[in-house]
Amino acid sequence: MDAFLKKILLIFLLILIQSCNADYDASPLMAKGFVDISSFSDDSIPAIEIEVRYHTNNNFVGKPIEGYDTAKIIMTFDAALAIRKVQEELVSNGIGLKIFDAYRPQRAVDHFMRWAADLNDEVMKNQYYPNVEKANLFRDGYISERSGHSRGSTVDLTLIELDHGEELDMGSPWDYFDPISWPSSNLVSVEQKENRNILRDVMLKNGFRPLPEEWWHFTLENEPYQETYFDFVIK
Which DSSP state fits 95?
E
Instruction: Report the DSSP beta bridge partners of residue 35.
Output: 75
Active site residues: 214
C-alpha–C-alpha distance, residues 156 and 178, integer Å: 16
**Which amino acid is located at 11 in the chain?**
I
- Single-letter code of the amino acid located at 216: W
10 Å Cβ neighbour count for 27?
16
Listing DSSP states for 77-130 in one string gives: HHHHHHHHHHHHHHHTTTEEEEEEE----HHHHHHHHHHHH-TT--TTHHHH-T
In 3D space, the residue among 27, 35, 175 whose CA is nearest the CA of residue 112 turns out to be 175
Nearest partner of 22 among 234, 228, 235, judged by Cα: 228
Rounded Cα–Cα distance for residues 104 and 106 (Å):
6
DSSP code, position 110: H
Q: What angle do CA 75, 178, 131 make, to 5 degrees?
A: 140
